[in-house]
């Protein structure tokens, strides 16, 4: 295949009447959310709205949006920004952009108005597709984006400064758009780094990257046509979409669940007969806690078909997986490592057969090579030493858009990408030690926060923890632990310090702070926010250092 849209066309030909996507919108505060097609579904107070889409309809909607773009004069290489919460139209719009030969530019739904404008300007976006949740933010900048010549609104009650998506696509034909063939090296999308350290960078991915990501996911998790994938994370991020790619490749059904409460996740698995679920660490912890409290009774659900739970986007505490396997002993488990610069997850993966190596991020993924390098970014470290993880494979980004300096920083050797993550290899498996920029240097010793966090999470009362470096006049930096306790549990500083006697002295946190641990939409701890909150001006520079999106 030359490009990823050919997979959608194949699915529509072979399985046109089969369900491709299901959207489930959950109740909020005892009432239903407003949803654009709610009138099509029976309104039952204790149930979610459920709407489904076939592969044939998916392809037709993508064609209609592509033909709309072509009718407005958009051409190959033009950038079309997508600012939507997860919804049934998200993926058809994305593929419609690609079918037109344009580049899709997904935007983080948490961006402020200023951040939306920054990313539109950086990507040279010429159109913006947005949903009802963003009317206020877009209205703030509508007069500040002269390059954007089309503003398309997906929802009811279209604002005056936009055009209605549903009205526009009704006027466009459902036939395949008449555009030149797209090839693997053609540019397909711009994704943004997570922005956990300073402003996000614009990552250019080609069709070869997206095609390889489909193969990687299916090779790792063995998706079959009869599998059903539960997708909860935001589709703007490579993590959610590229895990969905495995189901996409085989024409399997997927469920978009708009809610993260444990009871809704378990209910969706049961009612939709989901077989594969990708979770973030906090969601997995919440599910286990809800089961422990009795809020979720597994006997109330049909879960026997659920075969795989996998986690990515952040370091995974081994204690969490051991706990999960006690509750769900029949589940296969995998963890996946990747970054947007490598087209999402799978550059490194544990593999379901390697459950005995929980704690490692795994081995080189399908079609990938790895090495751990010295600070020069090229020379491999000696065996057993910590260094920066580097990746090589078909999923490597083309470049940071309009940023050759940043591109050169992480592509110091032809074909290889530096990840910004410190790692070590033991017994053939790669272990993530920490972000290069998160290493704490205290009295000349390197502390890797992830190691301390993993230890603290084994305490029965700790729900989440983040370890950061704080300025210290004598030692340079000291380790501080920000701790969030489980519901109904109490913990004192003395109890934490006593528990930490199980760590070597130099690794013990010197400061304990009881507070919430902030995470971004993909589950990563927002350590720059914590440094700014607790570290003062001494660490402001650190949060603006270069980093890539893990």
Q: How far, in Å, CA of 488 to CA of 310, rounded?
A: 28
> 471 lies in a domain?
yes
> 462 lies in a domain?
yes
Q: How far, in Å, CA of 300 to CA of 326, rounded?
A: 18
| Residue (of 352, 350, 381) closest to 363 by Cα position | 350
pLDDT digits (tens, 9 = 90+) for 60-109: 999 999 999 999 999 999 999 999 999 999 999 999 999 999 999 999 88
| Residue (of 334, 337, 327) closest to 450 by Cα position | 337
Q: How far, in Å, CA of 400 to CA of 393, rounded?
A: 17
Question: Is the confidence at residue 534, as pLDDT, over 90?
Answer: no
Based on C-alpha coordinates, what's the Rg of the chain? 23
pLDDT digits (tens, 9 = 90+) for 26-49: 765 443 443 333 333 444 344 558
Which residues span the domain enclosing 476?
A: 439-517
**Pairing relation of β-strands 125-130 and 150-153?**
parallel
Q: Which residue has the higher pLDDT, 486 or 62?
A: 62
Residue 139: pLDDT band with limits 50, 70, 90: very high
pLDDT of residue 522: 60
pLDDT of residue 104: 98
3-state helix, strand, coil in the chain (%, to 5): 35, 25, 40
334, 301 contact by CB (below 8 A):
no
pLDDT digits (tens, 9 = 90+) for 237-254: 888 899 999 999 999 999
Name the β-bridge partners of 279: 311
pLDDT of residue 237: 86
> 492 lies in a domain?
yes
pLDDT digits (tens, 9 = 90+) for 272-296: 999 999 998 778 988 999 999 999 9
pLDDT of residue 34: 36
> 502 lies in a domain?
yes
Q: How far, in Å, CA of 495 to CA of 491, rounded?
A: 6
Q: How far, in Å, CA of 21 to CA of 19, rounded?
A: 6
pLDDT of residue 543: 32
Q: What is the 3-state secondary structure (H, E, C) of 145-182?
A: CCCCCEEEECCCCCCCCCEEHHHHHHCCCCCCCCCCCC
pLDDT of residue 548: 27
Q: pLDDT averaged over the chain?
A: 88
Question: Is the confidence at residue 59, as pLDDT, over 50?
Answer: yes
Q: What is the 3-state secondary structure (H, E, C) of 118-145?
A: HHHHHHCEEEEEECHHHHHHHHHHHHHC
Torsion angle of alpha carbons 541, 543, 545, 550, nearest 10°? 170
> 17 lies in a domain?
no
Question: Is the confidence at residue 541, as pLDDT, over 80?
Answer: no
The CATH number assigned to the domain holding 507 equals 3.30.300.30
Residue 472: pLDDT band with limits 50, 70, 90: confident
200, 194 contact by CB (below 8 A):
yes
pLDDT digits (tens, 9 = 90+) for 326-358: 999 999 999 999 989 999 899 999 998 998 888
Question: Is the confidence at residue 267, as pLDDT, over 80?
Answer: yes
pLDDT digits (tens, 9 = 90+) for 351-398: 989 988 888 899 999 999 999 999 999 999 998 898 999 999 999 999
> 329 lies in a domain?
no
Residue 135: pLDDT band with limits 50, 70, 90: very high
Tokens 């230890």 sit at which residue?
A: 455
Quick one: what percent of the chain has pLDDT higher than 70? 89
Among 51-60, 153-162, 470-479, 488-497, the least confident range: 470-479
Quick one: what percent of the chain has pLDDT higher than 90? 67
pLDDT digits (tens, 9 = 90+) for 406-442: 999 999 999 999 998 889 999 999 998 766 677 787 7
pLDDT of residue 549: 30
**What's the number of domains the chain is made of?**
1
Q: How far, in Å, CA of 385 to CA of 376, rounded?
A: 15
Residue 12: pLDDT band with limits 50, 70, 90: very high
pTM: 0.81
Torsion angle of alpha carbons 182, 204, 351, 523, nearest 10°? -130
pLDDT of residue 422: 86
> 444 lies in a domain?
yes
Q: How far, in Å, CA of 195 to CA of 546, rounded?
A: 10
pLDDT of residue 314: 65
Q: What is the 3-state secondary structure (H, E, C) of 368-397?
A: CEEEEECCCCCCECCCCCCEEEEEECCCCC
Average pLDDT over residues 214-221: 96
> 480 lies in a domain?
yes
Distance linking the first and last C-alpha atoms of the chain:
28
Tokens 């370890």 sit at which residue?
A: 467
């Amino acid at each position: 295949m030359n490009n990823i849209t050919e997979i959608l066309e194949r699915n529509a030909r072979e399985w046109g009447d089969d369900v491709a996507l299901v959207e489930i919108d959950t109740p909020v505060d005892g009432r239903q959310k407003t949803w654009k097609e709610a009138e099509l579904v029976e309104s039952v107070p204790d149930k979610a709205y459920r709407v489904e889409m076939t592969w044939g309809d998916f392809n037709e909607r993508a064609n209609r949006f592509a033909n709309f773009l072509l009718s407005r004069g958009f051409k190959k290489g033009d950038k079309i920004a997508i600012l939507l919460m997860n919804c049934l139209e998200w993926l058809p719009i994305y593929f419609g952009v690609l079918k037109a030969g344009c580049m899709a530019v997904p935007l983080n739904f948490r961006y402020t108005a200023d951040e939306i404008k920054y990313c539109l300007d950086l990507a040279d976006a010429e159109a913006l597709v947005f949903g009802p949740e963003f009317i206020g933010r877009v209205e703030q900048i509508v007069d500040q984006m002269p390059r954007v010549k089309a503003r398309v609104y997906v929802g009811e009650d279209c604002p005056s400064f936009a055009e209605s998506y549903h009205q526009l696509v009704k006027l466009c034909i459902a036939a395949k758009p008449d555009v030149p063939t797209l090839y693997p090296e053609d540019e397909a999308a711009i994704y943004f780094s997570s922005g956990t350290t300073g402003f996000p960078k614009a990552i250019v991915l080609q069709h070869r990257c997206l095609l390889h990501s489909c193969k990687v996911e299916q090779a790792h998790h063995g998706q079959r046509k009869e599998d059903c994938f539960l997708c909860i994370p935001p589709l703007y991020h490579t993590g959610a979409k590229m895990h969905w790619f495995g189901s996409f490749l085989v024409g399997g059904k997927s469920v978009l669940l708009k809610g993260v409460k444990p009871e809704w996740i378990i209910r969706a698995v049961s009612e939709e007969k989901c077989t594969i679920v990708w979770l973030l660490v906090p969601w997995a912890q919440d599910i286990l806690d809800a089961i422990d409290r009795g809020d979720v009774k597994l006997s109330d659900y049909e879960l026997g078909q659920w075969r795989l739970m996998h986690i990515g986007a952040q370091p995974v505490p081994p204690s969490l997986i051991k706990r999960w396997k006690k509750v769900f002993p029949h589940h296969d488990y995998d963890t996946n490592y990747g970054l947007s610069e490598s087209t999402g997850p799978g550059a490194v993966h544990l593999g379901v057969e390697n459950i005995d190596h929980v704690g490692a991020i795994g081995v080189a993924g399908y079609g990938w090579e790895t090495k751990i390098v010295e600070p020069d970014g090229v020379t491999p470290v000696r065996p057993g030493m910590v260094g920066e993880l580097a990746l090589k494979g078909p999923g490597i980004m083309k470049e940071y858009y309009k940023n050759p300096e940043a591109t050169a920083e992480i592509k110091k050797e032809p074909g290889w990408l530096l990840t910004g993550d410190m790692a070590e290899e033991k017994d053939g498996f790669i272990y993530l030690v920490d972000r290069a920029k998160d290493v704490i240097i205290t009295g000349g010793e390197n502390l890797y926060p992830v190691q301390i966090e993993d230890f603290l999470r084994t305490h029965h009362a700790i729900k989440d923890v983040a370890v950061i470096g704080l300025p210290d006049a004598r030692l340079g930096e000291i380790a501080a632990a920000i701790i969030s306790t489980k519901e109904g549990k109490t913990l004192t500083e003395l109890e934490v310090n006593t528990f930490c006697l199980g760590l070597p002295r130099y690794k013990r946190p010197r400061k304990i702070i009881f507070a919430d641990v902030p995470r971004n939409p993909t589950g990563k701890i927002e350590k720059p926010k914590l440094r700014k909150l607790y570290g003062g001006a001494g660490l402001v520079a650190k949060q603006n250092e270069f980093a890539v999106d893990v």
